[in-house]
Every structure is written in structure tokens, then in C-alpha cells.
């Protein structure tokens, strides 16, 4: 029940309704876009819509290994369920795992015959009979279209393909979608929806969550007492230490997450994470690198730092970061993962750009200049180790605006 309630109130419904209820049994849908635009993320969102309603999904990945695809599901599911209770989130995740199989072809382009053989094997060995098939990395060629259409109708499958976009791409498929990036968001163009003559209006998707943008509701500013607030951070040198020092001066409670081998500048409110707790924030470094468009080594320390950032952001209602916003909308350094988590989970997010010496709020489309205050009991304060005087001043002024008087 948690899953269907989550979807019924989620922004993904805007997309599904626009596509006249989504893909039906026996139909083929195609998502086309340039590499790196977000075809996989969109297909995962469409798969989640069906998984959380109890439909079985087979996800065939040509290039991405199984753990990378699974990370994509986990991250986007966490974004949809950011306001759910822990038990409801666990129930939704269990339902996704129960009804989904991910198969990696290791770069081999699947044919209709190989897909049917895979369906037969899963049915005989696991009694797994999917209602939705996702093929990520290729599309049928020539007569394969007719063969896949026949297979989809015979097996009562809804089939989604993800493929590159070319100027002369044919509009094949019952539903044909093209993704067009535009800085911090992506336009979804439905080029074909069951042969409808009237084209649908383009839908603007959030580049972090790949869900249709919702109107942002204005939340009235509440005056908190310092004793009612909790700072979630890591206590590291630089920004996190400065947030902690300010919290102590104002009488704000601190929770600084740490782990074995982590050097903290602040021990007030230290919360050592067990291996099991760290595992809750497990991420694929390949997935992080793709989201942040930069490389990370497989070193154990950076993995644990990213896991600890998961705990900081997940507990906060609003996230404050000190760093530098890049041209592509990401934030420099490991701190950028905090920003990506906040955006995926639809957290209220502020970044103080030390180069521009100004605060910017993420409004789900772009970074907009503004002046933040702490108006929720639980907030996260993190950022670069290389804190400049302007960043330190920004933290102090934030506390004064929030708690003075």
C-alpha cells in the first residue's frame, strides 16, 4: 500500500497521465536521447511506477553492470520516498526487489530470440514472468521490430527501449519519446503516442530526479529557538567544523557522524557509524562519478565518506552547503554528493558559492539567488574543507538571521 500511495501523490503521475496511462501490454515504447542525457533514469522511473503497483519488471542492460543499475533504482526510489517513514521505505524497497530482475548482457546486443530465451529461462527456473521489459542500450533493427511486436503481444509484455537519438531517427514504436537537455533540466518530447495527430506539450523534467516538475509550495518562515534545532554534519576540518562551532555558540545540538579511520576536528555530538549503518548509504562510485561528471577511485575512505554524507542529508529537512557551483549545476568536490542526494530526495537545498560570495537556492530547475534561514528543527551543514573568510561569515550570518531575537 505504501508504494501505491507514494506514486499517487508523486510527480511521476504527471508524466504517466500525459502518456495516456503509460505503455500497455503488447506495445513498444522508445526513449531516444544523446548519451548521458538520462534515458536510463527515465526508464527506471517508468519501471518504478509499475513495480510499486506489483507488476514484474525485467531490466536488460547492455552496457551498465547490475550493481550500477540497482544503484540507480535505489537512489531514485529514495527520492520518491523522501518523506516516508522508515518502515514504509523498507516496504517499498522490498516490493521493488521482489518484482524486479536485472540482466546484464556484457555489451552484447540482445536479439528478439535471445530475449525470448531469457524469458523462458526466468519462467522455468524462477517462475518469474514479467509484465514490463526494459532494454537499455539498443533498439530493434529492420525486421526485428515486427518480431518484437509479435513477442510483446504474445507474452502480453509492455516493452521499453532506450536508444541514441539521430536527426533522421524513424518515429517507430507505439510511444516514441525524445529527451532534450537544457542546462539543469530536461525537456521530454512525446514524438508519438499511439499515432495521435495532436502532439503533446513538452514536459519539463527535473535533471536530478527525472520526474515532472511540481509547483513549489511556499512554506511560512518559523522562528525556532536554538535549543529546538539539531545540526547534522561530519565534524571535519573546514566548513563542517565551522558549522559545528557556530552551533555550539548558539546552543544548537550537534550530531557529527564519523567512522573508523575518519579524522574529526570536532567531537561534540560525535556519532560513530557501525559497518551496518554505513552500509545503508552504500553507493556505486561509478554511479556517483556519472552523476557528478568526475572520476573517483575505488578507495575505501572515499566510499565511507560518501556513505556518511548519506546519513547527514537523510536526517535533515534543509541542507546548507559551502562550495562552488559549476557550469553544469553540480558542486565541486565530494560535497557535491550531498547536493545530489538533496536534489534526488527533494530536500530544501542552499549552497553558498564562495566564488560569487552569495547564497543560491535549488528550485528544482535552477540555482536562484536568495537569503536562507534555518526554519526547521533538523538541518544539515556541510561543505568544502577549504573554507574562505566569506564562507565562514556566511555561516555566522545564517545563524544570526535564524536565531537572534
Render pLDDT for 39-78 as a digit per residue (tens, 0 to 9): 888 888 889 888 888 899 999 999 888 888 888 888 777 7
Pick the more confident residue, 404 or 256: 256
Give the end-to-end CA distance of the chain in Å, rounded to a whole number: 45
Question: What is the pLDDT of the chain when averaged over all its residues?
Answer: 80
Can you list the domains of the chain with their CATH numbers?
2-206 (3.40.50.300), 226-403 (3.40.50)
The residue-averaged pLDDT of 333-356 equals 84
Nearest to 62 by CA among 107, 103, 22, 101: 107
- List alpha helices for 54-181, DSSP H: 66-80, 86-98, 112-126, 144-155
Any idea which residue has 529546538 for its cell?
228
Mean pLDDT for the stretch of residues 292-316: 69
Q: What is the rounded average pLDDT of the residues 357-363?
A: 92
**Of the candidate ranges 145-154, 186-195, 290-299, 366-375, the one whose mean pLDDT is the lowest:** 290-299
Per-residue confidence (pLDDT) for residue 290, from 0 to 100: 56
pLDDT digits (tens, 9 = 90+) for 217-236: 333 445 678 998 999 999 88
* pLDDT above 70 as % of the chain: 77
CA distances from 129 to 55, 82, 156, 203, 223 (A): 10, 30, 10, 32, 54
Contacts of 233 (CB under 8 A, 6+ apart): 240, 243, 244, 254, 255, 256, 257, 312, 380, 381, 382
Lowest mean pLDDT of 125-139, 240-254, 324-338, 340-354, name the range. Answer: 324-338
Lowest-pLDDT choice from 52-56, 158-162, 217-221, 277-281:
217-221
Alpha helices in 138-238 (DSSP H): 144-155
Mean pLDDT confidence for 304-318: 82
Q: Take residue 205 and report the three cell numbers written for it.
A: 523534467
Q: Of 83 and 107, which is predicted with more confidence?
A: 107
Residue 108 to residue 137: CA distance in whole angstroms = 10
Which phi and psi (to 5°) does residue 168 adopt?
A: -105, 25
Q: Which of 166-180, 201-215, 221-235, 348-362 has the highest mean pLDDT?
A: 348-362
Nearest CA among 28, 219, 212, 261 for reference residue 134: 28
Amino acid at each position: 500500500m505504501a508504494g501505491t500511495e507514494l506514486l499517487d501523490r508523486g510527480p511521476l503521475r504527471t508524466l504517466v497521465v500525459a502518456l495516456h496511462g503509460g505503455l500497455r501490454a503488447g506495445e513498444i515504447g522508445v526513449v531516444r536521447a544523446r548519451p548521458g542525457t538520462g534515458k536510463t533514469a527515465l526508464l527506471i522511473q517508468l519501471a518504478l511506477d509499475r513495480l510499486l503497483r506489483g507488476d514484474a519488471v525485467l531490466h536488460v542492460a547492455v552496457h551498465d553492470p547490475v550493481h550500477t543499475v540497482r544503484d540507480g533504482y535505489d537512489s531514485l526510489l529514495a527520492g520518491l520516498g523522501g518523506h516516508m517513514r522508515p518502515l514504509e521505505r523498507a516496504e517499498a524497497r522490498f516490493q521493488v526487489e521482489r518484482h524486479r530482475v536485472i540482466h546484464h548482457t556484457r555489451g552484447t546486443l540482445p536479439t528478439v530470440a535471445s530475449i525470448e530465451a531469457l524469458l523462458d529461462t526466468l519462467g522455468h527456473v524462477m517462475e518469474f514472468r514479467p509484465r514490463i521489459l526494459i532494454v537499455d542500450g539498443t533498439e530493434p533493427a529492420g525486421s526485428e521490430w515486427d518480431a518484437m511486436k509479435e513477442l510483446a503481444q504474445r507474452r502480453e509484455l509492455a516493452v521499453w527501449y532506450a536508444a541514441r537519438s539521430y536527426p533522421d531517427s524513424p518515429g517507430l514504436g507505439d510511444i516514441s519519446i525524445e529527451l532534450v537537455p537544457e542546462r539543469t533540466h530536461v525537456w521530454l518530447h512525446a514524438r508519438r503516442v499511439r499515432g495521435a495527430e495532436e502532439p503533446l506539450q513538452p514536459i519539463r523534467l527535473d535533471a536530478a530526479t527525472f520526474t515532472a516538475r511540481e509547483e513549489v509550495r511556499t512554506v511560512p518562515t518559523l522562528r525556532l529557538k536554538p535549543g529546538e534545532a539539531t545540526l547534522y554534519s561530519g565534524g571535519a576540518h573546514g566548513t563542517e567544523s565551522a558549522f559545528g562551532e557556530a552551533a555550539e555558540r548558539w546552543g544548537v545540538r550537534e550530531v557529527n557522524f564519523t567512522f573508523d579511520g575518519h579524522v574529526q576536528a570536532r567531537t561534540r555530538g560525535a556519532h560513530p557509524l557501525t559497518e551496518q549503518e554505513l552500509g545503508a548509504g552504500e553507493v556505486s562510485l561509478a554511479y556517483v562519478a556519472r552523476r557528478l561528471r568526475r572520476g573517483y577511485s575505488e578507495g575505501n575512505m572515499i566510499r565511507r565518506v560518501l556513505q556518511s554524507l548519506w546519513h547527514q542529508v537523510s536526517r535533515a529537512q534543509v541542507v546548507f552547503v559551502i562550495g562552488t557551483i559549476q557550469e553544469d549545476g553540480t558542486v565541486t568536490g565530494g560535497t557535491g554528493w550531498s547536493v545530489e542526494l538533496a536534489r534526488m530526495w527533494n530536500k530544501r537545498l542552499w549552497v553558498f558559492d564562495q566564488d560569487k560570495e552569495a547564497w543560491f537556492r535549488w528550485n528544482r530547475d535552477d540555482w536562484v539567488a536568495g537569503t536562507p534561514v534555518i526554519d526547521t528543527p533538523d538541518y544539515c551543514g556541510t561543505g568544502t574543507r577549504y573554507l574562505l573568510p566569506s564562507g565562514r561569515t556566511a555561516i555566522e550570518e545564517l545563524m544570526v538571521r535564524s536565531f537572534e531575537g
